[in-house]
């Protein structure tokens, strides 16, 4: 059951308070890649404004994925204020507008029209869209994570590695760097840019 399908009749004069912990599978459309987040908390108020409906509230969750450097769990808390206006259009279709993004028409505005399923406001697609848009680009377990020894693979956060090289990622063996440079010539430092 999709908890984010809100019956319009449930929205009274005072509005309808929403406070839900939603499993991401409930809002994920079929055949879309997953996101590194299990549960999203949806809190806010749905208000009836003339024939339209306004949701104002907050999305919260924790993105979790292996650390980019050491592969331990890295958690990135997320907390976003949202405002969506569900406007009724022809044929009972509702267009959804993200209120925060009104200044920038090219980004973040929900231009698709979504049907009001038998008098039901569907917050799910809006929640899913925000969850996808806000996936962090980087996951690190802590800002100063030392990563793995490039030679023996030991986690350098836990102890100096057993291979005794004392090397960190910044001091990888010259031969390994040379191998990498051959594989990715575009990434080699360009002295002329200095």
- Other CB atoms within a 10 A radius of the CB of residue 162 amount to 10
Please provide the distance, in angstroms rounded to a whole number, between the alpha carbons at the two ends of the chain: 58
Residues 52-111, interacting with Zn ion (CB under 5 A): 67, 69-70
DSSP character at residue 38: E
User: How many residues lie near Zn ion (CB under 5 A)?
Assistant: 11
**Which residue's CB is nearer to Zn ion, number 134 or number 157?**
157
**Which residue's CB is nearer to Zn ion, number 18 or number 161?**
161
CB of 93: closest distance to Zn ion in angstroms? 47
- Helix extents (H) in 143-191: 174-183
Q: What count of Cα atoms within 13 Å lies in the side-chain half-sphere of residue 16?
A: 19
CB of 132: closest distance to Zn ion in angstroms? 24
Q: How far is CA 42 from the centre of its chain?
A: 14
**Which residue's CB is nearer to Zn ion, number 120 or number 157?**
157
- Which part of the chain contacts Zn ion (CB under 5 A), choosing from 92-100, 111-119, 163-171, 185-193? 163-171
**Which residue's CB is nearer to Zn ion, number 124 or number 150?**
150
CB of 3: closest distance to Zn ion in angstroms? 34
**Which residue's CB is nearer to Zn ion, number 152 or number 169?**
152
Site track for Zn ion across 112-151, x = CB under 5 A = -----------------------------x---x---x-x
Residues 6+ apart with CB under 8 A from 102: 109
**Which residue's CB is nearer to Zn ion, number 114 or number 151?**
151
- Other CB atoms within a 10 A radius of the CB of residue 183 amount to 8
CB 29 within 8 A of CB 54: no
- Distance, CA of 189 to CA of 185 (rounded, Å): 9
CB of 148: closest distance to Zn ion in angstroms? 8
Triad 130, 18, 43: Cα angle to 5°: 45
Which residues are at the interface with Zn ion (CB under 5 A)?
67, 69-70, 141, 145, 149, 151-152, 154, 161, 163
């Amino acid at each position: 059951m999709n908890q984010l399908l809100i019956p319009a009749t449930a929205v009274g004069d005072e509005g309808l308070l929403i406070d839900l912990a939603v499993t991401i599978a409930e809002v994920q459309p079929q055949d879309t890649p997953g996101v590194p987040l299990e549960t999203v908390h949806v809190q806010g108020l749905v208000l009836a404004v003339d024939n339209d409906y306004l949701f104002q509230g907050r999305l919260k969750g924790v993105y979790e994925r292996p650390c980019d450097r050491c592969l331990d769990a890295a958690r990135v808390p997320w907390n976003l204020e949202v405002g969506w206006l569900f406007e009724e259009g022809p044929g009972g279709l509702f267009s959804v507008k993200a209120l925060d993004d009104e200044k920038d028409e090219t980004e973040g505005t929900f231009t698709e029209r979504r049907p009001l399923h038998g008098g039901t406001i569907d917050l799910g697609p809006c929640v899913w869209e925000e969850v996808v848009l806000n996936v962090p680009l980087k996951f690190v377990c802590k800002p100063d994570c030392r990563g793995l020894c490039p030679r023996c693979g030991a986690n350098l956060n836990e102890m100096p590695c057993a291979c005794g090289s004392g090397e960190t990622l910044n001091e990888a063996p010259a031969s390994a760097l040379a191998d990498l440079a051959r594989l990715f010539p575009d990434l080699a430092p360009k002295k002329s840019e200095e």
